[in-house]
Structure 1
Amino acid sequence: MSNSPVQQELKLRSGSVLKNRLCKSSMNEALATGEGRVVREFEVLYKTWAEGGSGLLVTGNVMVDAHHANEPLAVAVEDERDLTELKLWARAAKSQGGQIWAQLSHPGKQSPKFLNDSPVAPSAIPLVSDMFMPPRELREDEILDIIQRFTNTAVILQKAGFDGVQLHGAHGYLISQFLSPNHNKRTDQWGGSLENRMRFVTEVYKSIREATGKRFNIAIKLNSSDFQKGGFTHEESIEVAKVLDGLGIDLIEISGGSWENPVNRRGEQKESTRKREAYFLEFAEELKKNVSAPLMVTGGFRSQAAIEEALDSGAMDVAGLARPYAVDPNLANKILQGQGYRSTVEPITTGIKKVDDMAIMEISWYTNQIRRMAEGKAPGSKPRGLFSVINVFYQFWKRGQVVKRVRA
């Protein structure tokens, strides 16, 4: 296995080095308190994942504004009140020589109405779902405030010992909303042309870079497309990536879709994707021709063979996996040791299309396995669909989260 591409180090533009090419990509942990406070379970969970051998661990969504959360029990970092817990979290995650990056996020209008009855967005365009209240359009001073919030959160995390941050620019959250012509109908400097629509993310990046310095990693999770008619396209994604590459971004993770069109959540695959496993590998091959920043592809990888083939092809530099880590925290070691690893993760379905499209059973099952690891237990191996859903909602109730958080 000495020549396996997964074992190779990766030196980033920041000067830091990933010890191998495997990453636990972002999954919402649903462990915070109802107010978004960090708890000691994060330390236990990320020590478990660190011992699994990955070169990089990316956290679940860390909210830059506690009043705007993407889901219950998400972490929010607005000040240093949880600095001690953040330091313990970071130290545990780095205990085996890997790195930890926090995924910074603002959901914009994708903030469920049971959490937020006054969501905001680039434009006052509602989502086609009863789960969300119609948003109001952001004023320019509010846009500038959100940019500063991203920066403030990054600075606190840097102080706590995190190695970097990843901007969540995919899946229909606020950065993605600014990029999409479907959701951004503004006529000022923040909307209209692609140059204007990408201004928000470039200003967030530049502000964080200025505040944290060149040695702190800044990455982005970027949609290859939002797969909607008239929406953010592959061509536009390449242009955004080229601009961020020129600004010095440390890594680009490729994803796609949104709440309205959750491509990789529904399990739909082209034949070429089924053969190569990864959802966005073809786009990565195209993007690789246009940028020099390292690329990470997440979504679909289930076998050591497919990961090694994708790395060997040069289409990507890091393999990201999510759900497999929720049932097998030691998977990186198995791959690194050449055990011919193949994940047992398979879709969990009910046969009810609306339920399956929302992936309620899947999200609940994997959330419960993450919680088990955070409690020092081994993850389960047999899906228990309805029980998992009930247990997740019990945890939400237990932590006092399912109440509206409305800005005073």
Structure 2
Amino acid sequence: MTRDQSILAQPLELPNGFVIPNRLAKAALSEGLGRRDFTPGSRIKNLYRRWASSGVGLSITGNVMVDRTAIGEPGNVVVEDERSADDLAEWAQIAKAGGSKVWVQINHPGRQTPRTLTAHPVAPSAVAVPGTGGLFAEPRALTEAEIEDLIRRFATTARIVTGAGFDGVQIHGAHGYLISQFLSPLSNQRTDAWGGTPEKRRRFVLEVLRAIRAEVGQQTPVAIKLNSADFQKGGFGEEESLEVVHALAEEGLDLLEISGGTYTSAAMLGVDPSLKASTRRREAYFLAYAERVRAELPTLPLMLTGGFRTAGGMVDAVESGAVDLVGLGRPLTVQPDFPAQLLAGRADESVVNPRRSGIRMLDSLTELTYYSVQMWRMAKGKEPAPDRHAALNVTQYLLNNGLESLRSPRG
């Protein structure tokens, strides 16, 4: 290992004393590998068996939903009671076998679910997902009693998965899912205690954090994935996002993962035209926002995901003090051993090279199918095929998930 890269091998101790072995993390990727009854099975365990030796210090699972009547993508795992406790325990044991810590990402899709999966979605307000050609049904506004029930569900899921052996949880508060919908004035048009002002719009996520903390205690890490902005005119912007971060930090949040965008403005994939060209070219799409958070909240542990490809970019981000953890998602679907090779000094750049046509919807589709198919290959005991033609990946994706899933979010 070169001297410069050694900083990535240093452990990170969170304020509550929890130690992450190094500065590389597998960011959440929606695997689409759960059984038809929404329980984890052999395929998702096989995938995490392959990733167990990847070398990351922290691994975060993809979407685990809190309600089996509200599914974000085909193949979601759902944990709402103890019925899959044995499966969860085996999944946790397999994922942790290589020494990494493993957290479960907990989520609810709200309105962002294909109508073929959830015919009657719920959301903060009865506002449909824009620009989807009818793939998503118009949601019904949640009642206050339903909001309270959802908060309880997030906490119950957190209690069950940590009881099964996972080390912590991450709340998914980004990419247009339910918590993101509560935070955005475009999707949250309520005028009661859950909307109408920035303070009321962030009440839901704060109550979710409080409820989870009450269930898992202070020593179990509770993190959140949050948008720096949703990159939509009149939507959730950086200034309001910073206010949310301050409020979460006051509640004792253990780690903030920074991302951005929604699946109608996919900044997290680097394909959204609203991102400046300079932002798309550099490795860390949201580094400038991370630096703002660091300046205002210097002790809050930060993880940054989106665009990292080279050892130099990762070292710079950590060495500068801007972030504590480097999140890697897509590289691990193509090069599952990349972090271990990086830490050993045997690699300094990922081979991930998105194939872009310049057509926004086409680029989003080919990227999502490309990385999903790589995960499915590993779930079958095969190695990734990074040079496989995009048309083959799209065909396999369609055969596996059907046409309705083409615009489904993946992470």
- Provide the residue aligned with 2:293 in structure 1: 287
1:256 aligns with 2:249: no
Cα shift at 1:227: 1.2
C-alpha distance after superposition, 1:301-348 (max 9, x if no partner) = 011110001111110000001000001111111111123421111223
Aligned counterpart for 2:103 among listed residues 101, 104, 109: 101
**Pairing of 1:1-400 with structure 2 (within 5 A):** 1=2, 4-128=6-130, 129=132, 130-268=134-272, 270-273=276-279, 276-291=282-297, 292-349=299-356, 353-356=360-363, 359-396=364-401
Task: After TM superposition, give the deviation of residue 208 of structure 1 in Å.
Answer: 0.5
Q: Which runs of 5+ in 2 are unaligned?
A: 406-411
Q: Secondary structure at the match of 2:340?
A: helix
CA distance 1:49–1:64, change in 2 (3 Å): same
Q: Structure 2 counterpart of 1:134, which letter?
A: E
In 2, the alpha carbon distance for the partners of 1:275 and 1:261 equals 17
Q: Deviations over 1:227-263 (max 9, x none)?
A: 1111111011111101111111110000111122111
CA contact (8 A) 1:267 1:347 kept: no
Contact persistence 1:305–1:340 (CA under 8 A): no
**Deviation (angstroms), 1:396:** 3.1
Please tell me whether the aligned partners of residues 270 and 307 of structure 2 are also in contact (alpha carbons under 8 angstroms): no
Q: Any gaps of 5 or more consecutive residues in structure 1?
A: 403-408
| Identical-residue share of aligned pairs (%) | 46
Shift of 1:139: 0.1
Give the structure 2 partner of residue 406 of structure 1: none
8 Å Cα contact 2:338-2:347 kept in structure 1: no
Instruction: State how far apart, in whole Å, the 2-side matches of 1:101 and 1:18 are.
Output: 11
Deviation track 1:185-234 (CA, whole Å, cap 9, x = no partner) reads 11111011111111100000000101110111100000101111111110
Moved more, 201-210 or 334-343: 334-343
- Tell me the SS of whatever aligns to 1:388: helix
Normalised by the size of structure 2, how large is the TM-score?
A: 0.93
* Distance apart, 1:276 and its partner CA: 3.9
Please tell me the residue identity of whatever aligns with 1:348. Answer: R
Q: Find the residue that maps to 2:82 and give its secondary structure.
A: coil
Q: 1:386 to 1:249 in 2, by over 3 A?
A: same
The CA deviation at 1:148 is 0.6
Task: Indicate if the aligned counterparts of 2:270 and 2:280 stay in contact, CA closer than 8 A.
Answer: no
Gap change, CA 1:121 and 1:24, over 3 Å in 2: same
Count of residues in correspondence between the two structures: 397
Q: Could you tell me how far apart the structure 2 residues matched to 1:90 and 1:14 are?
A: 22
TM-score by length of 1: 0.94
Contact 1:227–1:233 under 8 Å retained in 2:
yes
* Partners of 1:90 and 1:162 within 8 A in 2: yes
Q: For 2:401 and 2:276, locate their aligned partners in 1 and report how far apart those are by CA, in whole Å.
A: 36
Distance of 2:93 and 2:46 partners within structure 1 = 11
Query: What residue identity is the alignment partner of 1:174?
Result: L
* CA–CA separation in structure 1 for the residues paired with 2:16 and 2:48: 23
Distance 1:293 1:353 in 2: 35
CA distance in 2, matches of 1:172, 1:296: 19
Letter paired with 2:366: M
Alpha-carbon shift at residue 31 of structure 1 (Å): 0.6
Q: Which amino acid aligns with 1:110?
A: Q
Instruction: State the Cα distance separating 1:383 from its structure 2 match.
Output: 2.9
1:79-134 residue CA offsets vs partner (Å, 9 max, x unmatched): 11111111111111111221111111111000111111101111111122221111
Q: Is the 8 A contact 2:258 2:302 kept in 1?
A: yes
Residue 293 of structure 2 aligns to which amino acid in structure 1? L
Q: Provide the C-alpha distance between the structure 1 equivalents of 2:82 and 2:289, rounded to a whole number of angstroms.
A: 39
Q: Kindly provide the CA deviation profile for residues 151-182 of structure 1, in whole angstroms up to 9, marking residues without a partner as x.
A: 11111101110111111100111101111111
Per-residue CA deviations over 1:284-307 (Å, capped at 9, x if unaligned) read 000111222100110000111100
**Distance in structure 2 (CA, Å) of the matches to 1:210 and 1:123:** 28
Q: State how far apart, in whole Å, the 2-side matches of 1:355 and 1:80 are.
A: 40
Cα distance in structure 2, aligned partners of 1:317 and 1:353: 32
For residues 15-36 of structure 1, the C-alpha deviation after alignment (integer angstroms, 9 at most, x for no partner) is 2100000001011111112331
The residue matched to 1:81 in structure 2 has which SS? helix
* Structure-2 separation of matches of 1:258 and 1:2: 38
